[in-house]
Amino acid sequence: MASSHNCPAVYPGGLLDGSLHDECDRQWWAYYTKARQEKSSAEDLRAMSIPRYLPLIHRSVLYGRSRVHRWIPLFPGYVFVFASEDERVQSLTTNRVTTTLRVMQPDRLRQDLLQLQRLIESGEPVTAEDRLEEGDRVRVRSGALAGIEGLVLQRRGQRRLLVSVDFLQKGASIAIDQDLLEVIS
């Protein structure tokens, strides 16, 4: 995935695939940062060699008469961190984090984040979703997103696949062709 300046979304690269999870002294945390400090916080964590994930999406913003292309946080204020207690305490010295939330279902969060990353990497326009609604639970049968599970939503007359991060009660959605989906129970 392209990134904003020197701030890759995932550090280190294998974080979401589970290869680092044998390190039993580390656990998942959701950090809530000060306003507009997500990228700086993520960069500080990378400089400290603390694994983290900051989901970024591409947006085109109009400033006056100029259009600027930027990578912005999908979930404003949140950075997902895989840290030991010592690393968590060390990361608080940056003075960019206001709250740390311990993740009680780390495998579920990692799976949600992995699916979210695949959605972002698909290149399709991604929309942040704050309201999780009930809908059919589906799996993508084929194509670049094969295997991703989520809910079907209808937004502005368009069928969308919602991939959620249950821990935050937030998610992201993309437009999807119904023929690519199969209902799961």
CATH of domain 127-183: 2.30.30.30
3 band by pLDDT with thresholds 50, 70 and 90: very low
155 has pLDDT over 80: yes
6 band by pLDDT with thresholds 50, 70 and 90: low
Alpha helix stretches (DSSP H) within the chain = 38-47, 85-91, 106-121
* Distance, CA of 100 to CA of 89 (rounded, Å): 10
Higher pLDDT, 155 or 170: 170
* Distance, CA of 17 to CA of 89 (rounded, Å): 25
DSSP string, 58-83: EEEEEETTEEEEEEEESSTTEEEEEE
* Distance, CA of 57 to CA of 75 (rounded, Å): 10
Q: Which amino acid is at 51?
A: P
Mean predicted confidence (pLDDT) in 14-40: 89
Model pTM score: 0.87
Question: What is the residue-averaged pLDDT of the chain?
Answer: 90
* Confidence at residue 125, expressed as pLDDT on a 0 to 100 scale: 92
132 band by pLDDT with thresholds 50, 70 and 90: low
Question: Residues with Cβ < 8 Å from 58, sequence gap 6 or more?
Answer: 2, 69, 70, 71
CATH of domain 10-103: 3.30.70.940
Break the chain into its structural domains and give their ranges.
10-103, 127-183
